[in-house]
Amino acid sequence: MIKVFIDGYTKADTKPKFSSDSFLLRLLEISTKQKIEVVEDIKKSDLILLYPFLSRKTKLKIKLSKELSRDRKFNLFFSGKGKFSKVLNYPHDNIIAVAHENLDSRWWGWFRDFIVEHKIPRLTFWPESLDPLGARFPYWWNYADFPEIDLDTKIYSRYGKKIRISSLLKPFQPHLSGMDKICFLQRHMIFPRDYQIESLKKIKTVDTFMHPDNPWLGTKAELLNKYNYVFCAENSSGYGYETEKLPEAWNSGCFPMGYIKNPLGDFNDEIFLDSILHQEKILARPLLVKEPNLSSLKKYLYDTLNK
């Protein structure tokens, strides 16, 4: 039995209580061949999963620790292997950082610097060639139909079903049964979203859905079936950064628009022209050139927990 405490979990989802609620917790069970128990008391934990949605106080301590570490008087306390647990006030150093956010963006640089400088084991978008101390764990894997990952069906309620990996290994197949409009789903209008939507309006009619002011009804898959086009650009650029937007559009048969390729990712280079998703190329080539495999991720988890 491994007792896991989860800190700073993403605001987009409900924090898991059981292994059946989480791709990662289930994969930990498979990798270690031990049951996982999620605990609320950090002092009772064997392992801490550290996500970046931390309290303001904790974020400030992390940022302050970096600044003070440049001062000789504070350097001994704030730098060096294993000292990160003191900054976070954790009872032990058995920590795995998990970041599905883009750590190369200006919003998450503080978390990137912290886990890299302290050499914390980590699951991120970065490929092994860039970050050999971590393992690549794309966000969309959490919602894909890996046969060995059996989770509660409610985990897939946002999109409405699992993302079929088999469809990503084939050229894009448009349904063309929806409205001749662009579906624009976002949580913000931060630059350059406002300019992008104005550009899209010059091409076709745009229907905008935004939480919490104008949410869509039903699942995302049901919504995409009503439209022939969907805007699915990433929020920022970064090494290997690939979220669920393009796989979901590909899986639904809703033409993806606005996607610009990030470097060192898994999506097929041949569907892009000058890094921009090409509408004709996607009809002839698959999104993925090879089926994703969990073996490297499982080995990383096993090795990390058995050091």
Calpha distance 232→247 (Å, rounded): 10
Calpha distance 2→264 (Å, rounded): 34
Model pLDDT for residues 257-280, shown as the tens digit of each residue: 999 999 999 999 999 999 999 999
Q: 140: exposed, middle or buried (C-beta count within 10 Å: 0-12, 13-18, 19+)?
A: buried
Task: Indicate the pTM of the whole model.
Answer: 0.92
DSSP string, 124-170: ES--TTT-TTEEE--GGGGGB--TT----GGGGTTTSS-B-HHHHTS
Q: What is the pLDDT of residue 52?
A: 96
Q: What is the pLDDT of residue 234?
A: 87
pLDDT values of the chain reduced to their tens digit, one per residue, 307 residues: 999 999 999 877 889 999 999 999 999 999 999 999 999 999 999 999 999 999 999 998 888 877 666 554 455 554 544 468 888 999 999 999 999 999 999 999 999 999 998 999 999 999 999 999 999 999 999 999 999 999 999 999 999 999 999 999 999 999 999 999 999 998 777 778 888 888 899 999 999 998 778 888 899 999 999 999 999 988 889 999 998 999 999 999 999 999 999 999 999 999 999 999 999 999 999 999 999 999 999 999 999 999 8
Best CA proximity match to 245, nearest among 236, 189, 105, 10: 236
Q: Please, what are the domains in the chain?
A: 2-138+294-305 (3.40.50), 158-283 (no CATH)
DSSP class of residue 44? G
Q: What is the pLDDT of residue 82?
A: 46
DSSP class of residue 14? P
Chain centre distance of CA 125 = 7
Residues 6+ apart with CB under 8 A from 114: 62, 65, 66, 84, 120
DSSP class of residue 88? H
Largest CA distance in the chain: 67
